[in-house]
Amino acid sequence: MGVSILSMVVLCVIQVASAQKLTDANEAAALKKIIEYWKLGSSLDLTVDPCAQNASWASDASNPRIACDCSSNVCHIAHLKIYALDISGQIPNELFELKELVDLNLAQNVLTGPIPAQFEQLSKMQYLSLGTNNLTGQVPLELGNMTKLLSLSFSSNNLDGPLPAELGKLTSLEQLYIDSSGVSGPIPQDLANLKSLKKLWASDNLFTGKFPEFLGTLTELVDLRFEGTSLEGPIPDSFGALTKLDTLRIGDLGGEDSSLDFLRNQTSLSVLSLRSCQLSGQIPDIIGTFSKLIYLDLSFNKLEGPIPDSFQGFTQLQYLFLGSNNLTGAPPANIVSQSLAALDVSFNPLSGNLPANVDKSEFSMNFVGTSINADNLEDRKALEMLRCLEAGTKCVNKVKSTSFSINCGGTEQTSATGVRYNDDSEPLEAASVYTNSNRQWGVSDGGYFISNPNGPQYIAKTDSQITGTLESELYKTARVSPSSLRYFGLGLKNGKYSVELHFAEIKMEDDLQSWKGLSRRIFDVYIQGERVLQDLNIRNEAGGSNRALVKTFDANVTNTVLDIHFRWAGKGTCCIPSQSTYGPLVSAIHASQVAGAAVTSSHQDKKRVGRIVGIAFGCTATLVIVSSVFYLWWMKDASTGHMRVHTGSRKRSK
């Protein structure tokens, strides 16, 4: 006691001498304990007053950062940032002694335990970020008392229970980030009071009930994200009032169909993604007038009618995904604008001719599973092999094989058991389709990692050894996709097949001491249109990162094609350990006919297939197949600088 009074006197003398005010003693003592508890002593010198004006940790860019408000006769700690430093343990009680905190950023650490109710004591708080930690328990309703909050984040945690209705008291709140937080249940109606809200990121939570109508009254909203929840449609018509939206991402809705009629005046939209929302009806012309659109994804819906002619008017649009709908007619002739980088119209009953300008540079297009006339393509045969994937169509493929094996994203590998996994190292783009040289299989993808600053990466690689397998090399590469990745075995004899899917998590770490280990990759797998895996988490099932996981399924081939579809349904974390780390990942595929199994198609089917196959064979015979690869996207020819369609055929066959 005596010593501390003496030292305070000494400090006061120094303070007067340097005209520097000191930190409130209670806060300074609390901070010291916090720093010791979180083992930050090496970055923060506890012998220096925390609010010293020239302290190395006071600048905006410092991390950890402590910055103070010295406007009264003592200094109060107003800003505390301990970001991505892997501090562990709980949120200590001493934190709530820092009563004047305005801005607290504890994001990207491995904090455990609950979000303490005492946060309500920090009544001046404006910015609170607890995102990307390992916090558990329910969201305390006391957070609703922090009425000065402008921004609140508890994204990417392991919380449970509902969102408290009390959050509706945060009427100043402009940003609420709760994606992947673990909260569940209905979305409280009280959130209708958050009239200042501009950003709401709520994807990947187990929300239930109807998609809330009231969201349409939060007219300041600029960025709204609700993908991968258990909410039910329809998307409320009240959304017509959200005219300030720049980003709208809704996905994976059950329940009733939605229409796009709510899109009337959202002329500020730059990103519109409504994947898998049970959208029905036609695509409204008005979307073509949203002149700021850069990214438009309406795939995996039930949209009918034509692609609107107004889509020829986009000047900024780079990515257009319309795959897996029921769109008809011909694509508008001038849909491929100067800005367009990828067009996916796959799996629609579209017809007519290819649009103009598909041969421009840095453009990719996927129109597999349509009836678009591609006569002017060098290698339309391979495309036609996939055309039969439309429901109800008979395949005209030459039946020749009973197995296929693919080293997804990698080069040819022969396994210890003698299985030769084909090369699949062609770089796919945002909308592409590719078949291997002997056309035993093909791969189709559609999707773009919107927020990946380093550009799209559709192949994942690691140098790490893969455990739990004798075939480590097979797993060191994988294909990944932001939305849909679909492999097709082609020209298969009908019958029963065994399908082996090989996985290993090679992008998400499993370090329990780091925030980088807090990621979750979750996706679904469909075989022959049936969902065989829902919410697959490779790392969890394999027992760690870089560990092999093999899943085996039976499948019936009745139409010469085996369809293996990997799909992202909006779940899992988005951005751990880096932006755009999510979506399906597959390392290798091996499918082979089960010997002696009964053929599943009827006698009549067999005859019909046989006949059509005969015709197909006749056509195929006129083709000189020398190709190593076939791929339908367009690149700049390195040698000539000309744009040309790459089909992989080294020789023309006309």
Q: What is the DSSP string of 558-623?
A: SSS-EEEEEE--S-B-SSSSSTT--S-EE-EEEEEEPTTPPP-S-HHHHHHHHHHHHHHHHHHHTS
- Residue 331 touching ligand NAG (CB under 6 A): no
Q: Judged by CB under 6 A, which of 118, 136, 196, 316 binds ligand NAG? A: 136
Q: What is the DSSP string of 258-310?
A: B-STT-SS-TT-SEEEEETS-BEEEPPGGGGG-TT--EEE--SSEEEEPPPGG
- Residue 285 touching ligand NAG (CB under 6 A): no
**Window of 49-57, 60-68, 415-423, 608-616 that interacts with ligand NAG by CB under 6 A:** 49-57
- Residue 512 touching ligand NAG (CB under 6 A): yes
Give the Å distances, CA to CA, from 524 to 70, 234, 310, 377, 483.
54, 23, 34, 33, 11
* Torsion on CA atoms 462, 465, 468, 474, rounded to nearest 10: 50
> What is the C-alpha to C-alpha distance for residues 109 and 218, in angstroms, rounded to an integer?
32
- Residue 244 touching ligand NAG (CB under 6 A): no
**What is the closest distance, in whole angstroms, from the C-beta atom of residue 554 to ligand NAG in the complex?**
5
User: By C-beta, is 92 or 306 nearer to ligand NAG?
Assistant: 306
> Quick count: other Cβ atoms within 10 Å of Cβ 459?
17
- Residue 47 touching ligand NAG (CB under 6 A): no
Q: Judged by CB under 6 A, which of 58, 70, 141, 635 binds ligand NAG? A: 141
Name the one residue in this structure whose structure tokens are 């409320």: 236
Name the one residue in this structure whose structure tokens are 């504890």: 106
Q: What is the DSSP string of 332-355?
A: PTT-S-SS--EEE--SS---SBPP
User: By C-beta, is 265 or 437 nearer to ligand NAG?
Assistant: 265
- Residue 291 touching ligand NAG (CB under 6 A): no
Structure tokens at 273: 């993604």
- Residue 217 touching ligand NAG (CB under 6 A): no
Give the Å distances, CA to CA, from 473 to 46, 244, 492.
50, 49, 27
User: By C-beta, is 1 or 19 nearer to ligand NAG?
Assistant: 19
The letter for the amino acid at 436 is: N
- Residue 616 touching ligand NAG (CB under 6 A): no
Q: Judged by CB under 6 A, which of 99, 210, 244, 302 binds ligand NAG? A: 302
- Residue 518 touching ligand NAG (CB under 6 A): yes
Q: Judged by CB under 6 A, which of 2, 42, 47, 54 binds ligand NAG? A: 54
- Residue 500 touching ligand NAG (CB under 6 A): no
- Residue 144 touching ligand NAG (CB under 6 A): yes
**Window of 51-59, 252-260, 311-319, 368-376 that interacts with ligand NAG by CB under 6 A:** 51-59
> What is the C-alpha to C-alpha distance for residues 304 and 591, in angstroms, rounded to an integer?
35
Q: Judged by CB under 6 A, which of 43, 62, 158, 472 binds ligand NAG? A: 158
Contact 503, 476 (CB under 8 A): no
Name the one residue in this structure whose structure tokens are 């056309």: 439
**What is the closest distance, in whole angstroms, from the C-beta atom of residue 513 to ligand NAG in the complex?**
7
Structure tokens at 514: 């780091």
Applying CB under 6 A, the site for ligand NAG has a residue count of: 29
Q: Judged by CB under 6 A, which of 105, 132, 145, 273 binds ligand NAG? A: 145
Q: Judged by CB under 6 A, which of 142, 213, 237, 473 binds ligand NAG? A: 142
- Residue 204 touching ligand NAG (CB under 6 A): no
> What is the C-alpha to C-alpha distance for residues 450 and 202, in angstroms, rounded to an integer?
17
- Residue 110 touching ligand NAG (CB under 6 A): yes
Q: Judged by CB under 6 A, which of 176, 555, 586, 588 binds ligand NAG? A: 555
Instruction: Tell me which H or E stretch contains 497.
Output: strand 495-504
**What is the closest distance, in whole angstroms, from the C-beta atom of residue 532 to ligand NAG in the complex?**
8
- Give the SS3 label for residue 249: strand
Q: Judged by CB under 6 A, which of 134, 172, 312, 402 binds ligand NAG? A: 134
Contact 34, 92 (CB under 8 A): yes
Question: Contact positions toward ligand NAG, by CB under 6 A?
Answer: 18, 52, 54, 56, 110, 112, 120, 134, 136, 141-142, 144-145, 158, 166, 240, 264-265, 302, 304, 326, 328, 512, 517-518, 554-556, 600
